[in-house]
Structure 1
Amino acid sequence: MNETMNRLMSHRSIRKFTEKPVNRETLEDILRAAQMASSSSNMQAYSVINITDPQKRRQLAHIASDQSYVTESPVFLVWCADLQRLAASCGFDAGSGYVGTTENLVAALVDAALAAQNAVVAAESLGLGAVYIGAIRNHIHAVAELLELPELVMPVFGMCLGYPDQEPILRPRLPLAAVLHENRYDADKITDLVGEYDLTTERYMVERSGGKSKANWTDSMKKKLSAPIRMDIARFIGSRGFWRNEEKDMNPGERQ
């Protein structure tokens, strides 16, 4: 494998960083690389907020289940799906045109994710490490208020960046056959492949926790999916200008 493949195959989330700062030039280079990610119809429907205010860092860390690395990392970014810039540039508000539709929101979410992953790969190529912080969605209304987000902008995840001060073991992924299908979705093969993966992840957790945990992937996913989490996301989306023009062209029988 070449250098790029080796780097991608060795990705690990980094949650402990040295005190070495990330200079502005390096950060901007990383974000320029992020901007070169593919974008749906070139909408570039995302924005990035660099959080340098220590008080806002502390508030975001608290929202994100008090994850200490949100305040300790040299750089903390909030990645947002952003249709506001498009709306303003085209002279639309949330109620005109077809800006805040589900389709455009999905495109904006994908744009943000693709750009962010470009940023992580770029950062790792420069010797930095990163971890995504989905927990900023724990209290999404509070994040939007704290960051003064306008309508049609949704905070999607945070990202800690810095120089690694740890070398965690690689987290194993599902067997390729569990995610790769040929010509149709093959549900029949999933049980055996997930069973194989459960054995792998159990060994991983034993090593990672020093024998304190043997939770496999199915155990972890069952726990995650057995309790409600972030149930206000749909309400947030509906209250921020998204979906406002979704019903314009619906047939009467489709409307609820």
Structure 2
Amino acid sequence: MIDILKKHKTIRQYTDKPISEELLNEILEAGVRASTTGNMQVYSVVVTQDEAMKEKLAPCHFNQPMVKQAPVTLTFCADFNRFNQWCRQRNAEPGYDNFLSFMTAAIDALLVAQNVCVAAETKGLGICYLGTTTYLADKIIDVLELPKGVVPVTTVTIGYPDENPEQVERLPLDAVVHYETYKDYTTERIDALYEAKEELAVNKAFVAENEKETLAQVFTDVRYKKADNEHFSSVLLQVLKNQGFM
């Protein structure tokens, strides 16, 4: 299991081989064994396999091709709708119309998503997380007909790999692990921790093709711009309000 985790690669190209219902259910069963706050299981997973539904869902992820190519796309949702209904049907008034409850449900959903990904990889499948889910959550809500109390938090495509990409680099362990208390970073330590990443040929090419001076500028000026962050933050906050979490 540890070996599988250490060898993880993001797979964006898939063969046309379908995932059997039995295998998909086995993976989802492993997913729902994830830890959950208070054993409430305040999440839901929407499975997209129908070609017409993939066509509708793709624009919600900026038309990334893996959404339509993968045999299965899973949308993991923070979901207090089901739990709220159960409470009211048992003469218990829920108090989960707040941001903390959204965070609780979002964490639950992400734990399930990671379980599903690991289970899928143990079966020889490839996965790809789609960070676009929270950008266009309002559109996904419409396509998947999510009721009040339900917010999509991440999406994962799953299928049999049709590529074997190089493993993406990671920062060294001492860059992200702090013992006992958080140790803030000096200028010298930042330079040392990011040196290997910045010196990779693929990242140098990334800088050149975007006509930037540094790799950091590619992130701040091209990939994750302040204006975009602010816009999609406003969209997501409105989604939380509309879905009853604010």
Number of aligned pairs?
Answer: 236
Residue 112 of structure 1 deviates from its aligned partner by 0.6
> Which residue number in structure 2 is paired with residue 249 of structure 1?
none
Residue 117 in 1 paired to residue 114 in 2? yes
Q: One-letter code of the match for 2:197?
A: T
1:194 corresponds, among 190, 196, 205, to: 190
Structure 1 contact 206–213 (Cα < 8 Å) conserved: no
Q: TM-score, normalised by structure 2?
A: 0.87
> Which residue number in structure 1 is paired with residue 73 of structure 2?
76
In the aligned structure 1, how far is the partner of 2:160 from the partner of 2:192? Answer: 35
In the aligned structure 1, how far is the partner of 2:242 from the partner of 2:97? Answer: 11
Residue 52 in 1 paired to residue 49 in 2? yes
> Which residue number in structure 1 is paired with residue 244 of structure 2?
241
Equivalent position SS for 2:157: strand
Q: One-letter code of the match for 1:178?
A: A
Residue 212 of structure 1 deviates from its aligned partner by 6.1
Q: TM-score, normalised by structure 1?
A: 0.84
Q: One-letter code of the match for 2:113?
A: A
Structure 2 contact 135–236 (Cα < 8 Å) conserved: no
| Structure richer in helix, relative to its length | 2
Residue 101 of structure 1 deviates from its aligned partner by 2.0
Residue 213 of structure 1 deviates from its aligned partner by 4.8
In the aligned structure 1, how far is the partner of 2:118 from the partner of 2:201? Answer: 25
In the aligned structure 2, how far is the partner of 1:225 from the partner of 1:135? Answer: 14
Residue 59 of structure 1 deviates from its aligned partner by 2.0
In the aligned structure 1, how far is the partner of 2:26 from the partner of 2:97? Answer: 31
Q: One-letter code of the match for 2:245?
A: F
Provide Cα deviations, 1:114-168, integer angstroms capped at 9, x if missing partner. 1100000000000001001121333222211111111010011211000111111
Residue 228 of structure 1 deviates from its aligned partner by 2.4
Q: One-letter code of the match for 2:28?
A: L
RMSD: 2.3
Which structure 2 residue ranges, 5 or more long, are not aligned? none
Residue 158 in 1 paired to residue 155 in 2? yes
Matches within 5 A, 1:63-102: 63-91=60-88, 97-102=94-99
Between the aligned residues of both structures, percent identity stands at 32
> Which residue number in structure 1 is paired with residue 219 of structure 2?
221
